[in-house]
Structure 1
Amino acid sequence: MFLVVYVTAWGAFVRLCLYGGVRRNLPLLALCMAFFAVYLIVYFAELCMYGKRSLKRIFSQFEIEENRIAAEWEEDDRKQQAVFELRDVRWYRKKKGQIFLFLKGHRFVWLDTEQISEQKREFLEMKLTQRGILATHFWRIPIALILAGVTFLGAAGTAWSAVPFNGKLSWVINELQSSRRVRLVHNNIYEDGLDGILEDIRGKVDLPEKLCLVNSFNLHFRADGTVETLYTFVKGFDENGNFVDSYLISYDAADSDKITIWLGGAADMEFDQEKDLEPLLEAMRVLPLKETVENWQEDIYGILYYGERSWGYSTEGIRYLEPDGSVSYPGAYASAEIKGFSVSVFCPENEAVTPVRYLYRGIL
């Protein structure tokens, strides 16, 4: 039974490491672990019972009478005797001149054969051997070989699944090494702004001050300002302009209250001035976000930033945002190309609403 459960446990564990399948393999693995726990409890319980029901002494004087062993010893100047039936021997072990008998009823007998004659010792071993091959525990050798083989194959399969791209375990290890998770405490865009979100991230990740986008910054929030989702991929640089690392940042309130930050993955290590993140951070400190969306009457609103963008000559939705927070509008017709660092406020679930595009003039 133990061997079957052991093989089953290794099989479930290796499949879990190679292919995942938590719902299928984890319950089976848990049942196997429960079996091993019960097995261990029973094992220690039997040891306690052997200790309580056995005579705590080593017998060096004993006689073999047909199918019985009669042991003698002196206690309080009186000769004592105990008789053990050989048919009660469940199994025995032999180590040098010592023989350990495990009897039915959880009794244990320790025989010291060093002081008896060679003929008597051989006769005792012959009697014990007559108890059958199971009594001598010869069956332990093939069982031990099978257990060793299963353990080796299971360990090899687990190690192979940990090699990059070989199995589910490798992806779990990669996630532990390359990702960080931090709880979003400053989750209200009205009250905390983007600075609050970056403060939470920097509590877990050494995020540089100088950042630029790899692709875009996209944040969705509810009418009360609660952040719903966030996605951006940025590169970080030190004060000397040297590349530090890249950071893929994602958050979905429907799945977790934690932001996930993946380290690495950027294709290039150059700072792209047109995708500088600083204009977004400065603009969000003065942008009248709540006033912009309050008349739209939608459940979800969004903030989108690609860095510097060109809007051609279209003035639709365009507003100029100054560092002091003042907002101005272009004329009905533009005489020059409208271009600059743009923060778009829009309705993700209603494309009929024209986005408001704030061109920040704090960084020229």
Structure 2
Amino acid sequence: MIPDRGVEDLLRELAPQVLGALVRRYGQFDTCEDATQEALVRAAMRWPSEGIPDNPRGWLVTVASHRLLDEVRSDQSRRRREDAIIAATPQSELLGRPADAEPGADRDDSLTLLFLCCHPALSPPSQITLTLRAVGGLTTAQIAAAFLVPEATMAQRISRAKQSIRASGTTFTMPEASERAERLRAVLHVLYLLFNEGYTATNGPDLTAPQLSDEAIRLTTWLRRLLPDDGEVAGLLALMLLTEARRSARTTPDGALVPLAEQDRSTWDRALIGNGVTLVTEALARGPVGPYQVQAAIAAVHDEAEHMDATDWPQILALYDLLEQLAPGPMVTLNRAVAVAMVHGPSAGLLLLAALESDNRMVRHHRLLATRAHLRELAGEHTAAAADYREAARRATSLPERRHLTARAVRLTL
């Protein structure tokens, strides 16, 4: 059956609301999540031909609740779980259509669900997969395809993540105000990682996995509706839009990587750039300034340059100086080194990179070698640059990146 895009989009929008309603009522995140997925599948099969119900959210909650209750009743070995759910449910709701959540609770439930999926008890990969499944409404098969792993492997990963949530004893409540900011940072980091994996895939034959970056943008857009006054949420969304705007220019028709300096900027998506610039401009004006806003500002400077030589590198360097104060780290230093090289010359950039060569987080990373190769090439050190390109290619796990780096090395030795 060919999926109805309108129905599919609606179901993904309702997925976190329905799951949130069930978890709030029954507890048992893992079984509620399974029941929600069952209801979503049933709706996807029936709604395109039968029509969307007048209250689609209530329909899904009803079907999922009945599925959940049927499951616990059918398994006598889980009598304690049944008793707990029965005790939490009014008798009238066991016999008839369960009452839907109050309309005003949708927002809090959805946000609480996102915080739960990004719980610190979970590893970042588990946070990402659980967010895609529970909040994004993607099926296990869709997530597995996006990450190029077998469906059974992804199912096990999701199952372990749900077991970890249960073992942590976490209740379905918003984090306390004292820890909410820290937990929101974890949520934003998960969405950031998800987007990056889609924009530059870690493994596999393709440079990008558009379904992952598209989903990251969709979820971040949704999160911004929930938290419209948060500058870092707006900053992250702006960063995604400004970066996504270049996607079509990043590869040739045969999938080869095209570096920023060589991209056809006429193919960049000007609508996305305009939206991203507006978002980050408004966020910076409101304050306080955060790392995602600064990264978005850097992306905006790149996107607004008509060609590489028109790039305002002094402004980019100033922004990286600020970013290094707000969120110091080896990747920030790596990118700042490029800006330093463009403003003060490649030798100055290479001096900064030298400090990273003893950093255990970067010493085996192909990006350090690739960046050093680029700066050595700018400095005219072609033999050393070619050696760095070859070693970076050997360490890269993305096939398009490996081919690109190898081609750079070959070009310097001709």
TM-score range, shorter chain: under 0.3
TM-score, structure 2 normalization: 0.23
TM-score, structure 1 normalization: 0.25
Which protein is richer in helix relative to its size? 2
